[in-house]
Amino acid sequence: MRFSAGSSSFGAWRPCQATPIAFYTGRFSTEDHSRAVDGISASVRRFYERKEKFRIFHGSTNSTRHAAKGNRMVDSSSLSHVLKVDMERKTATVEPNVPMDRLVEETLKYGLVPSVVMEFPARFKHGFFNRTFNSVEMVLANGDVVTCPEKEKSDLFHGAAGACGTMGVTTLVELQLREAKKYVETTYHPVSSMTEAIKKIEEVTADPNLDYVDGVLYSKHQGAIVTGRLTDIPGASVPIQRFSDSKQ
């Protein structure tokens, strides 16, 4: 693959229309969520009282073992809904099994997008995805349900990320959103060595006008650093590349 120096293109989000309401609540209500969490809490408490080990089934697994349901299993796989998008506070209240594409699809309806989207690397600005959380709801090992804001229960808040259920069963998060734009302008910067790639990354991550930075090396002597910025106005001479079968 060849790149010309500083070559650019535009990737288009799905078009969105802002609405006058302050927040969005889906068909799965907060009451439905509370009932589901009560069931998980009761299951965990029974295992705790019997001093029995259990595994968590959430529909997918980090383990190489087969994640089959059984008698010693706490099932959280139904927690897969976006409960609310708050346009005023720019936050989303989301259950833990919501796929990223569905989360983005929901928030774009209200002119917002998560601060960190996995396919658009913005960690140099906002940190890892969990650093965009305001709070985490979880079921502890004794069955208690707690909500953990960063400043009030910081040990649980920070410990929940990547703990694979050892700190508790995560059941809900509130995460930060940002204003979406119609396009992401991407620029490909060719590099010919690891040293050049590192230098270019240090340069572009210091640019406050950029929103995304990614990079790939195809060999020892060929690669590219890719930068992106959100914009509503595409350049006249820059081609627009659309994704997700968007026709608009």
Q: What pLDDT is stored for residue 18 in this prediction? A: 43
Mean pLDDT (the chain) is 81
* 3-state DSSP assignment of residue 16: coil
Q: What pLDDT is stored for residue 11 in this prediction? A: 52
As a whole-number percent, the residues of the chain with pLDDT over 70 amount to 79
Q: What pLDDT is stored for residue 216 in this prediction? A: 92
**pLDDT-derived band of residue 15, with 50, 70 and 90 as boundaries?**
very low
Both structure tokens of 184: 């992401």
Interval 48-57 mean pLDDT: 90
Distance CA 6, CA 105 (A): 30
Both structure tokens of 156: 């649980």
CATH number of the 23-179 domain: 3.30.465.10
Interval 44-56 mean pLDDT: 92
68 CB-near residues (< 8 Å, 6+ apart): none
Please state the domain extents for the chain: 7-14+181-242, 23-179
As a whole-number percent, the residues of the chain with pLDDT over 90 amount to 42
Q: What pLDDT is stored for residue 139 in this prediction? A: 95
199 CB-near residues (< 8 Å, 6+ apart): none
Both structure tokens of 100: 């990223």
pLDDT of 200 > 90? The answer is: yes
Instruction: Give me the DSSP letters along 218-243.
Output: EETTEEEEEEEEEESS--TTS-EEE-
**pLDDT-derived band of residue 230, with 50, 70 and 90 as boundaries?**
confident
Q: What pLDDT is stored for residue 150 in this prediction? A: 85
pLDDT of 133 > 60? The answer is: yes
pLDDT of 23 > 60? The answer is: no
Q: Which of 167, 141, 165, 139 is nearest to 50 (CA)?
A: 141
pTM, two decimal places: 0.74
DSSP state of 202: H
The answer to whether 183 and 197 have CB atoms below 8 angstroms apart is no
Report which of residues 29 and 164 the model is more confident about.
29
Interval 192-210 mean pLDDT: 94
Both structure tokens of 145: 């349900």
Q: Which stretches of the chain are DSSP H helices? A: 30-50, 100-108, 123-126, 154-159, 194-205
Q: In this structure, what is the dihedral angle of CA atoms 74, 77, 83, 86, given to the nearest 10 degrees?
A: 90
